[in-house]
């Protein structure tokens, strides 16, 4: 029987470490890396913070499922229903567990799906995280992910009423309706 640390076997941990070392080696030699180590560490922090918003219950498989990603993605206008979030997960979930690990989360962020996306596009997610790591939100990247989520959700919803353009108002209204629907569904549970 293999020893486990944080629910991961030693072989899984070795695989993660090797992946990290390969990226570090590539970066040090100026080779193409999807994410540099600094950005990848930021993404790991976001992954961990998102997982804390709605933690996985004790005894359940590690990773983030619809329950963990629904509120952040809908709040930010990156998805508009539980089904949208589930679809994003299915597009990158290699083992079919319904949960995504950090490497699969990176594929959502980088818009790299191994499965067909049925015409749905997560380019907005890629752009959101790119802005978040490059200070595109005017200093919000210094706050916790949860705080950023609250601030941007409010901004999106306010667009419904005070958006500068009709497109802003429509986007805000979509986020408001999606968020209200999500809250109603959670109330029924």
Report pLDDT digits (tens) over 11-62: 777 777 767 676 666 666 655 556 677 888 888 899 999 998 888 888 888 8
pTM above 0.85, yes or no: no
Average pLDDT value for residue range 83-101: 90
Digit-coded pLDDT (tens) for 61-89: 888 999 999 999 999 999 999 999 999 99
pLDDT more than 70, % of the chain: 83
Burial class (CB in 10 A: 0-12, 13-18, 19+), 31: exposed
Residue among 34, 108, 115 nearest 66 (CA): 108
Residue bearing the bigger pLDDT, 121 or 106: 106
Rg over alpha carbons for the chain, rounded to the nearest Å, is 18
Residue among 179, 2, 4 nearest 75 (CA): 179
pLDDT band at 120 (very low <50, low <70, confident <90, very high): very low
List beta partners, residue 64. 100
d(CA 37, CA 27): 8
């Amino acid at each position: 029987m293999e020893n486990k640390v944080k629910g991961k076997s030693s072989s899984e941990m070795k695989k993660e470490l090797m992946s990290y070392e390969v990226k570090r080696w590539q970066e040090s030699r100026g080779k193409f890396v999807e994410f540099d180590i600094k950005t990848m560490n930021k993404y790991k922090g976001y992954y961990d913070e998102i997982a804390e918003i709605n933690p996985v219950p004790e005894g359940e498989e590690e990773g983030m499922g619809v329950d963990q990603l629904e509120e952040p993605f809908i709040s930010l206008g990156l998805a508009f229903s539980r089904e949208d979030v589930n679809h994003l997960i299915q597009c990158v979930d290699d083992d079919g567990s319904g949960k995504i690990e950090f490497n699969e989360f990176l594929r959502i962020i980088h818009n790299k799906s191994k499965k067909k996306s049925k015409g749905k596009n997560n380019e907005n997610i890629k752009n959101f995280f790119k802005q978040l790591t490059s200070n595109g939100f005017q200093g919000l990247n210094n706050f916790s992910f949860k705080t950023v989520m609250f601030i941007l959700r409010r901004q999106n919803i306010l667009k419904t009423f005070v958006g500068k353009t009709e497109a802003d108002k429509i986007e805000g209204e979509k986020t408001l309706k999606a968020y209200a629907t999500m809250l109603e569904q959670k109330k029924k549970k």
